[in-house]
Structure 1
Amino acid sequence: MKISKILPLLIAFISLNAFAQDGSFVRKKKEQIKALKVAFITDELSLTPDEATKFWPLFNAFEDKQQEIKKQKLKGYLNRMDDDSFDNLSEKDATTMLAQMESTEDELYQLKKKFVSSLKGVISPVKILKLKKAEENFNRKLLQQYRNKKLGK
């Protein structure tokens, strides 16, 4: 089944449960989106069984590390920006914060380079490029579904 047929069902399911307040709802939603992403990428890349057994552990480790970096570092910066004291941030503190943000962005970039390098022995360069495109397409479709739901389309 194509992901374009599954995605609207996911969004409908999420909207039915949108008023759930507990953390398990968020966790389930993330797991569902991840499962759809896996299906979408698998379909887009046409991975062979051998490729898939080597690809998915690398991909999952990359995504986990990327989320860890974002959660630990970037979220901290954004929280500080939302703080009331942000308006009173000194130039020195702002410079320090910018340097930390640049360091984090560089860390994410180096992680991506390492990931792509490790993929070269697993899938073809064409499939690596297709992966990038598939991730962008998945995110675009997910965002579009969310916007359509918000606007009541």
Structure 2
Amino acid sequence: MCLKKLFPILFLLLTFNFYGQNDKSKDDNFKEKREQIKAMKVAFLTTELDLTSSEAEKFWPIYNTFDDKQFELRHQKMKGIFKRMQDSELDKMSEKEAAALLNQIQDNEEDLFNLRKKFISNLKGILPSVKIIKFKKAEEDFGRKLLQQYKDKGAKK
């Protein structure tokens, strides 16, 4: 069976499985959903980018490293920042504490920007610029598709 036909089928199966999860602990559920979304994204990007085997061999290790670091910056570091941004905490925060928190947020955003910049620079060595732009578009399309699925799921409740 052609890989291009297999990935959409895999995508659909994972989508149905993604919505069938209810009875696990919150952390396990989050990790499982993250893995399912990651698998769906890999399938989607594979289909959209149409990488040669040589390109795929070089692309996926770089992408996986980037994705893991990006997740850490977005979720792990920001988790602590958002906890401090609760309404009850904000009212008690001094100007000095708020300035320090704002600096942490800016540093994290700068780290994300630099990570993405380095990732694109690394891609330039293995993919033509057109495929890098296709990758950027595919990422945006995947995000929109995932958001639409989330909205559709919420509307059914």
Name the TM-score, length of structure 2 as normaliser.
0.86
Give the superposition deviation at 1:121.
0.7
Distance 1:25 1:73 in 2: 20
Map 1:51-130 onto structure 2 (within 5 A): 51-82=55-86, 84-130=88-134
Equivalent residues of 2:8, 2:43 under 8 A apart: no
Gaps of 5+ in 1: none
Alignment length, in residue pairs? 153
Equivalent residues of 1:8, 1:145 under 8 A apart: no
Q: Which has the higher contact order (CA 8 A, sep 6+)?
A: 1
Distance 1:10 1:150 in 2: 18
Gaps of 5+ in 2: none
Q: Equivalent residue for 2:32? A: 28
Q: Is 1:149 matched up with 2:153? A: yes
Equivalent residues of 2:73, 2:112 under 8 A apart: yes
What RMSD, in angstroms, separates the aligned Cα atoms of the two structures? 2.1
Q: Is 1:14 matched up with 2:18? A: yes
Name the TM-score, length of structure 1 as normaliser.
0.88
Give the superposition deviation at 1:15.
2.5
Structure 2 counterpart SS, 1:47: coil
Equivalent residues of 1:45, 1:131 under 8 A apart: yes
Aligned residues with identical type, % of pairs? 47
Show CA shifts across 1:74-102 (max 9, x none): 12111110262221211121111111111
Structure 1 counterpart SS, 2:126: coil
Distance 1:14 1:55 in 2: 26
